[in-house]
Amino acid sequence: MAKRNVSKLRGYLALLLVCFLYAVCDVVQRVVISPLVKLYPKARIPVLGRWIRAMAYFGTAPLRSVGGASLQFPPQVVPCAPGKLILMNHQSVIDILLVVKSVAYGYPRIVTRARYGRFIPLISHLVRLYQYPTVDPTANPREVLKMARAMSQEARDSDVPIAIFPEGTRTKDGEIGSFRKRGLAKVLKGRPWTVYVFVVDGYWEKSHVKDFLADLSALDGRVEHAATLEWTDPDADPGPFITKVRDIMSERLTEMRSNSTPAP
């Protein structure tokens, strides 16, 4: 009982520290970072790249050092360049920080739900500052189609990598969910892509911030670079390619779990 209470206290302290650091980041982002990239637009990518990596550190370091969580980070195999597409399964809010860490010397533009662009401290301003493409699955069909077209154009013209969670929402059971194919198909048909496929596991029981208040020391998060694929023909049917990506994710997730199972 005492050990469980200590673990819970560590979870509270870790979350409080993250909240404090992000409150400071919100002020710094609005007062320093945003004006800086407006004054020096040519420095936008290096400045925003360093800033987002700093925020990823502030969001993960307390979970490890204070909360006792085991977090694995992805290899930085994604160049910060046009025509790079990152696809990752979605288990937790931490996945966003992992996507950030997969890009070398820059940052990705992450396809984000429109509701995160309004009234959320730090996050809403970050969505605008980093020009994240937004989607709203609750909109009427005409608006959804309009957003998908806009997202496709933004992705095609982006000078930094685009990141998408193809499932569209966090998994409830840890498995690879069904892909929301329409938006991803629009992006694939916009241009040729080098596609980087990542698989995460171990986070799905901590899918929301409130879940961090439980025993963080039990969190054993893993992430692997599963494949690099070339999408060379935007005029082709993206359906088989999307199916292939999902199959790769499912197979790698099975391998990761098999490799982490203790021998009898």
List pLDDT tens digits, range 209-256: 777 767 788 889 999 999 999 999 999 999 999 999 999 999 999 999
Amino acid letter, residue 129: L
- Percentage of the chain lying above the pLDDT 70 cut: 97
Q: What are phi and psi for residue 233, nearest 5 degrees?
A: -125, 95
The residue with greater pLDDT, 165 or 135, is 165
CA 119 to chain centre: 20
Could you tell me if 11 and 213 are in contact, meaning their C-beta atoms sit under 8 angstroms apart?
yes
Q: Determine the pLDDT at residue 187.
A: 94
Q: How far apart are CA 82 and CA 85, in angstroms?
A: 9
Residue 210, both tokens:
């409130």
Sign of the torsion angle spanned by Cα atoms 70, 214, 210, 246: positive
Instruction: Work out the burial of residue 87: count CB atoms within 10 Å of its CB; fewer than 13 is exposed, 13-18 middle, 19 or more buried.
Output: buried
Q: Identify which of 73, 95, 227, 108 has the alpha carbon closest to the alpha carbon of residue 170.
A: 95
Residue 5, both tokens:
């209470």
pLDDT-derived band at 123, boundaries 50, 70, 90 = very high
Query: Terminal CA-to-CA distance of the chain, rounded, Å?
Result: 29
Sign of the torsion angle spanned by Cα atoms 237, 193, 107, 58: positive
CA 240 → CA 70, 177, 244, 253, distances in Å? 36, 17, 6, 20
Q: Residue 261 above 70 pLDDT?
A: no
pLDDT-derived band at 1, boundaries 50, 70, 90 = low
Partners of residue 237 on adjacent β-strands: none
**Cβ neighbours of residue 158 closer than 8 Å, sequence gap 6 or more:** 82, 109
pLDDT-derived band at 263, boundaries 50, 70, 90 = very low
Q: How far apart are CA 250 and CA 252, in angstroms?
A: 6
Longest CA–CA span in the chain (Å) reads 61
Could you tell me if 10 and 218 are in contact, meaning their C-beta atoms sit under 8 angstroms apart?
no
Average pLDDT over residues 183-203: 95
The residue with greater pLDDT, 1 or 158, is 158
Average pLDDT over residues 113-141: 90
- Percentage of the chain lying above the pLDDT 90 cut: 71
Lowest mean pLDDT among 19-33, 37-51, 162-176: 162-176
Q: What is the DSSP letter of 261?
A: S
Could you tell me if 240 and 217 are in contact, meaning their C-beta atoms sit under 8 angstroms apart?
no
Apex CA 252: angle with CA 246 and CA 258, to 5°?
140
Whole-model pTM: value is: 0.93
The residue with greater pLDDT, 149 or 22, is 22
Residue 86, both tokens:
């990152």
Residue 71, both tokens:
């977090």
Average pLDDT over residues 92-121: 93
Q: Determine the pLDDT at residue 2.
A: 67
Average pLDDT over residues 59-64: 95
